[in-house]
């Protein structure tokens, strides 16, 4: 009974010692199978080991809107292949040139392990005009040995970069268009990014100190004369406003205002340039026309009328011409125009015309004046000058017309002469009679 008990205790231990080697054998078998499969897959992969590289871009980088040639190098590090087909898959902003095949049949692709030469394939592409400055992805694919499946590779890039990043003042304006001395205005500037990349660190400055030898009568108002913009998107426009004040003593003329522009492109290249904008300072001229003097006070008479032209406004005027147009009630005798030329502010000049008046009571003389202001803007204005007429008695009463006593004086003189002649003749007759009687 004791032996039987001992057997039962020992027997299981022997059974466990017997089974342990079976587990180790199963583990080794599993490891062997995994390694066998891995080796098999490695052999299949190495059998067709195709290496494709983009080895050249010409030019590098390429500008938007230009053509670029890219070259691919194809290496076969596996076994020799036949019926090898290669295809490029360009996407926006890249496009294959017209007439350029996207798919190329190489045929036999030898292995480089046999010392054969590698295959170089070239493609010509066109970059879209509105392409942004960046590295743009391009895909290729290939298939071999009459396979229906393609292998696609998408880790190739083409670099696009504008040669000179252009940021320009596309347009500008002032509100109002013509700024009067002492008046405030708004200068509106529109920047445009003509580059295909973001431009940054933009500084736009009004140079208000001097332009040449001339001091500008312009001053910044409410804000400084500089604007700082962090960035501007490709092909985008950006409006910028400046408040300015024109000095009260500013002359009426066009002033050239320098604008300094600094910025940086995406490759950290710095740019600096100066643009000129024009600020027009001026005020609307104010012209007054009146009757200076006249020789005509009654109808049916001829004489001179003198017209006074006064420059009441701030700006000087030039090329001033005064014309008396035709109208009822009078006729112009001789020239109907008088050229004055330049007329300064707060000054006057005159123009005279000879006319025959056949109207009554009063007539209007239609005066047309033409001139240019300091900024060469043309003006045409029509003014009516009133010429009042009187009757003979009114003209005499007002001292505008003196009586004509010459005829009366002549008659009186003739009378005196006649009386004197009569007395002298009578006295001579008496003298003769007295002598005859003696």
**What CATH number does residue 58 fall under?**
2.60.40.10
pLDDT at 22: 55
Query: 283-331 pLDDT, tens per residue?
Result: 888 999 999 999 988 888 899 999 999 999 888 999 999 999 999 899 9
Contact 206, 223 (CB under 8 A): no
Cα distance between residue 371 and residue 285, in whole Å: 10
Assigned token pair, 8: 């039962």
pLDDT at 46: 39
193 and 270 in a single domain? The answer is yes
Q: Which of 138, 144, 128, 134 is nearest to 72 (CA)?
A: 138
- Is 388 part of any domain? yes
User: Where do we find the tokens 């066009």?
Assistant: 254
Contact 138, 158 (CB under 8 A): yes
Cα distance between residue 29 and residue 35, in whole Å: 10
pLDDT at 372: 94
- Is 404 part of any domain? no
67 and 17 in a single domain? The answer is no
pLDDT at 184: 94
pLDDT at 422: 73
Assigned token pair, 29: 């078998």
172 and 277 in a single domain? The answer is yes
Cα distance between residue 101 and residue 123, in whole Å: 8
217 and 267 in a single domain? The answer is yes
- Is 413 part of any domain? no
Query: Residue 319 in 3-state DSSP?
Result: strand
- Is 97 part of any domain? yes
Which of 260, 281, 302 is where one domain is finished?
Answer: 281
- Number of folded domains that form the chain: 4
189 and 116 in a single domain? The answer is no
Assigned token pair, 236: 């985008």
Contact 350, 259 (CB under 8 A): no
54 and 149 in a single domain? The answer is yes
178 and 156 in a single domain? The answer is no
pTM for the full model? 0.55
- Is 129 part of any domain? yes
Q: Specify burial of residue 188 (Cβ count, 10 A radius: 0-12, 13-18, 19+).
A: middle
Q: What is the domain range of residue 367?
A: 287-397
Show the DSSP H helices in 375-405 as ranges.
Answer: 392-397
Query: 106-162 pLDDT, tens per residue?
Result: 888 887 655 566 889 999 999 998 888 889 999 999 987 677 888 999 889 999 888
Residues in a beta bridge with 219? 245
User: Which regions in the chain score pLDDT beneath 50?
Assistant: 1-20, 34-46
pLDDT at 189: 95
124 and 25 in a single domain? The answer is no
Which of 113, 129, 160 is where one domain is finished?
Answer: 160
- Is 414 part of any domain? no
- Is 238 part of any domain? yes
């Amino acid at each position: 009974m004791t032996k039987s008990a001992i057997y039962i205790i020992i027997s299981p231990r022997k059974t466990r010692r017997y089974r342990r080697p079976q587990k180790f054998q199963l583990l080794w078998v599993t490891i062997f199978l995994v390694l066998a499969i891995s080796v098999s897959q490695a052999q299949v992969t190495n059998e067709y080991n195709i290496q494709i590289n983009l080895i050249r871009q010409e030019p590098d980088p390429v500008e938007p809107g230009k053509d670029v040639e890219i070259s691919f190098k194809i290496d076969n590090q596996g076994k020799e292949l036949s019926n090898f087909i290669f295809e490029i898959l360009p996407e926006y902003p890249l496009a294959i040139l017209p007439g350029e095949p996207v798919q190329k049949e190489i045929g036999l692709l030898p292995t480089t392990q046999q010392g054969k030469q590698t295959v170089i394939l070239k493609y010509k592409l066109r970059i879209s005009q509105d392409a942004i400055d960046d590295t743009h992805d391009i895909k290729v694919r290939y298939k071999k040995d009459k396979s229906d499946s393609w292998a696609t590779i998408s880790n190739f890039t083409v670099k696009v970069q504008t040669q000179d990043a252009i940021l320009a003042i596309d347009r500008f304006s002032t509100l109002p268009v013509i700024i009067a001395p002492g008046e405030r205005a708004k200068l509106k500037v529109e920047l445009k990014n003509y580059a295909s990349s973001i431009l940054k660190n933009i500084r736009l400055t009004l140079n208000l100190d001097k332009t040449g030898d001339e001091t500008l009568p312009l001053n910044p108002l409410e804000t400084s004369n500089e604007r700082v913009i962090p960035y501007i998107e490709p092909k985008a426009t950006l409006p910028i406003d400046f408040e300015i004040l024109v000095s009260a003593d500013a002359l009426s003329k066009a002033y050239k205002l320098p604008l300094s522009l600094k910025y940086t492109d995406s490759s950290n290249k710095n740019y600096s340039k100066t643009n000129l904008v024009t600020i027009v300072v001026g005020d609307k001229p104010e012209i007054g026309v009146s009757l200076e003097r006249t020789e005509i006070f009654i109808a049916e008479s001829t004489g001179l009328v003198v017209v006074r032209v006064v420059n009441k406004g701030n700006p000087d005027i030039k090329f001033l011409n005064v014309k008396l147009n035709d109208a009822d009630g009078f006729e112009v005798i001789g020239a109907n125009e008088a050229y004055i030329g330049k007329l300064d502010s707060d000054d006057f000049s005159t123009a005279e015309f000879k006319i025959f008046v056949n109207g009554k009571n009063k007539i209007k003389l239609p005066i047309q004046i033409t001139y240019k202001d300091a900024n060469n803007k043309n003006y045409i204005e029509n003014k009516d000058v009133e010429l009042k007429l009187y009757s003979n008695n009114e003209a005499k009463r007002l001292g505008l017309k003196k009586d004509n006593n010459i005829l009366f004086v002549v008659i009186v003189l003739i009378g005196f002469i006649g009386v004197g002649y009569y007395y002298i003749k009578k006295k001579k007759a008496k003298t003769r009679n007295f002598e005859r009687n003696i």
